[in-house]
Amino acid sequence: VEQTYIMIKPDGVQRGLVGEIISRFERKGFKLTGLKLFQCPKELAEEHYKDLQSKPFFPKLIDYITSGPVVCMGWEGVGVVASARKLIGATNPLNAEPGTIRGDLAVQTGRNVVHGSDSPDNGKREIGLWFKEGELCAWTAVQEPWLVE
Ligand code: GTP
Ligand code: MG
């Protein structure tokens, strides 16, 4: 089954949006496999966003992600990677559709409250990057037969 790495960025934590954001993924029907509040070291932020290294906003992005605790999450489900990206909405919150997390809760690209992996391969890579093995749980949700036929 597909896995994605979702992270509530420091602005989401500071603005008290943790419960609201987790709720959206829970209510959709995805399964939580890992969860922690974490102060991210600079090296990890740089590794996570290494594809953006050459962008002019890269130093600001690293400052932003390390500016306070983040909430790290693993979520599992059929099609969870693409679906989570839809729930999150466009990178620029002003372009994000109402009903999406960024569309409802944010106004600027540099403060867009949440991260979601952009491919199944990156989902695996990022979960491996942010979690140690013992921090993840494989478990069966009792609601599963009521979500998937
Ligand atoms: P993530 O889920 O965080 O990876 O966002 P994304 O996939 O929608 O966008 P992308 O991977 O292209 O960029 C990663 C993050 O860098 C964005 O979510 C923003 O926080 C930040 N970012 C991207 N473009 C800009 C920009 O032009 N200015 C600033 N300040 N930040 C940017
Ligand atoms: Mg991205």
pLDDT by residue for the chain (149 residues), tens digit each? Answer: 999 999 999 999 999 999 999 999 999 999 999 999 999 999 999 999 999 999 999 999 999 999 999 999 999 999 999 999 999 999 999 999 999 999 999 999 999 999 999 999 999 999 999 999 999 999 999 999 999 99
CB 60 within 8 A of CB 110: yes
Closest CA to 81 of 139, 3, 16: 3
Instruction: Enumerate residues with CB within 5 Å of ligand 2 (an ion).
Output: 118
Instruction: Quote the number of domains for the chain.
Output: 1
Q: Is the ipTM of this complex over 0.95?
A: yes
- Catalytic sites, residue numbers: 115
Residues 6+ apart with CB under 8 A from 98: 104
- CA–CA separation, 66 and 77 (whole Å): 29
The pTM score is 0.97
CA of 135 from ligand 2 middle (Å) equals 23
CA of 61 from ligand 1 middle (Å) equals 8
CA of 46 from ligand 2 middle (Å) equals 13
Domain that holds residue 143: 3-147
Verify whether ligand 1 is closer than 6 Å to residue 38 (CB atom).
no
Eight-class DSSP state of 137: -
Q: Find the CATH number of the domain harbouring 27.
A: 3.30.70.141
Eight-class DSSP state of 97: P
- CA–CA separation, 13 and 91 (whole Å): 18
Verify whether ligand 1 is closer than 6 Å to residue 99 (CB atom).
no
